[in-house]
Structures are given as structure tokens and as C-alpha cells.
A and B are shown apart, each in its own frame.
Chain A
């Protein structure tokens, strides 16, 4: 049976959320909540189990991000993330893979009519 909407969205997001995080932090160093806001500004809301914190931990463990602490607009010190050189390379490779996968899926799904009979 096909996954329901939110579940499918969670599964789709699961495979690319690391790329999305690397992409938004490549725009400028960011702390956790700031990354969530950048994602939401582009219409990508955290759904299902898709919290970014474990993923940020994995990126840090794998050496794909660098971190440092700094105050945020006079607030308490925050942990900022930015892609490392390995992270930038992983982002470039991942984006290529994503585009290839997206184009292939589009080629399969493009002819499908999306009108749903009521």
C-alpha cells in the first residue's frame, strides 16, 4: 500500500535533508534554529521524525561541518555550523546525484495525470 502523504514526505526528506542543511549553512554559518527557519522560508517544513539535531550530530561526527561558538545578536552563545571542505565536496556530489535521481523520477512520473476524481 502506498505511503500516506506526510509519511511519504518524511521519507523523501530523509534522504536529502543532509544536503539541504549543508546547502543552507553554505549560505552562511548558522545555528540549529536558524537552519530550520531558512528551510521553512523555502517551504521545507520539518515533518515526521525529521528533526535536524541528530543529523547535525552525524554531519559533525563525519567531519562534514565545522563548528564554533559565538553570541547571536547579543543573545547567549550559540553553536554555529558551516560546511568543511569535505562537506562542500559532499554537497556538490550529493546535488548531482539528487538532480539525476529527480530527472529520472520526473521522466517516469511526468505523463501521469494528477487530477483526482472527486
Chain B
């Protein structure tokens, strides 16, 4: 049965159970199994069918004790990628649009703060035409920031965030589901 305890110990280490807690659980388990064997009780009588699946047993014990996060339910595990997929696709589309705008240069989008002044339009005086200035003056005060670049930066940041979320999700879903012991 020391092999069973060793497999549990390895699983706890893999799951990130703090060493003192893992040592305590392993010692308790080993002592109980030893006493049971000395009294003629099988490991299965002590552990039930968990004796055939030490990894699930170890994960379940650690999760129930609260020393590792409880594995997400199947429903949550399904919903999360859908949200992630949507977010990632949106970020990718934004990136493509921004890149296309940058490459083609059309349309030229700028964020413009404009101020327009209109000169009074007077009817031309009678007699020979007299040269005058423009009848209408439009002033653009342009403090422009190219939208393409803003979109590109937003898309890149969003894609980076999406990559981080994906890596977190895959590591969360990696451990085997904890057996529903007891």
C-alpha cells in the first residue's frame, strides 16, 4: 500500500498542495492503512473503490479539504471557452481591420477637433467686380490621433489578454476531476 500513498503524494505535489499539508495527509493515510492491514482489513474496506484510483482520491481529498481549488463544474467548463472564443474573435477582427486600414491608407481616419467659422456672405456690390477674399472661411484645428493605430494597440492588448485567459483556462481544466468521494 505504500505505492498507493506514494501516488497520492505525487498527485498532491502536482496539484500544488503545500508540502506540510501533503505530508500530514500522507502520514495519516499510511498509518491508517498500516493499522488496517495489521488487523486483517483490506485497503478496499478502508478506502472503498478509491483504492483503484489514487489520483482521483488524492485530488478529491485535497479539494474537499480546501487546499486546492475545487475543479470547475462541467457547465462552467463549457461556458467559459464560449466567452473566451467570442472575445478572441472580436480582438482578432479588430486587429485585421486596423492592419487593413494601415496598409491601404484608406479611408483616412483621424480624430479631429474642428472649429468652423463662417464669414458673412454679402451680395456683390454693383459696378465692376472688386477682388475680395474668400466668402467662407473654414478653420480646422487638427489635434489628430490616427484611429488605425489606436485600434491596433487595443487589438494587440486584447489578444494578449485573451492568450493569458486561454492559458489559465487550460491549466485549470488539466487536473483530473476529483472523484465524488462520499
Which residues of the other chain, A, contact B46 by a CB distance below 8 angstroms? 33, 36, 46, 51
**Would you call A60 an interface residue if the criterion is a C-beta within 8 Å of the partner chain's C-beta atoms?**
yes
Separation of A51 and B46 alpha carbons in the complex (Å): 7
Contact yes or no, B48 A46, CB < 8 A: yes
By beta carbon, the residue of chain B nearest A13 is B182
Q: Is the CB of B45 within 8 A of A45?
A: yes
Distance between Cα atoms of A97 and B30 in the complex (Å): 35
> What CA separation (Å) do A23 and B178 show in the bound complex?
26
Of A31, A47, A61, A79, the contact of B48 (CB 8 Å cutoff): A47
Which residues of chain B come closer than 8 Å to A111, judged between CB atoms? none
Interface pair A32/B48, CB less than 8 Å apart = no
Could you tell me if B61 and A57 are in contact, using CB atoms closer than 8 angstroms? yes
- Could you tell me the distance between the alpha carbons of A47 and B60 in the complex, rounded to whole angstroms? 17
Q: How many residues of B contact A (CB 8 A)?
A: 29
* 9-residue interface stretch from B31-39, B126-134, B153-161, B163-171: B31-39
Q: Is there contact, CB below 8 Å, between A53 and B45?
A: no
Asked if A54 is an interface residue, CB under 8 A from chain B, the answer is yes
A55 touches B181 (CB 8 A): yes
Is A49 within 8 A of B48, CB to CB? yes
Chain B interface residues toward A at CB < 8 A:
24-25, 27-29, 31-32, 35-36, 41, 45-50, 57, 60-66, 178-182
10 tightest Cβ-Cβ pairs between the two chains A and B: A57-B65, A33-B32, A55-B182, A61-B66, A57-B64, A54-B64, A58-B64, A54-B181, A54-B60, A51-B50
Known: A54-B64, A55-B181. 4 other contacts (CB 8 A): A32-B29, A36-B36, A54-B181, A55-B182
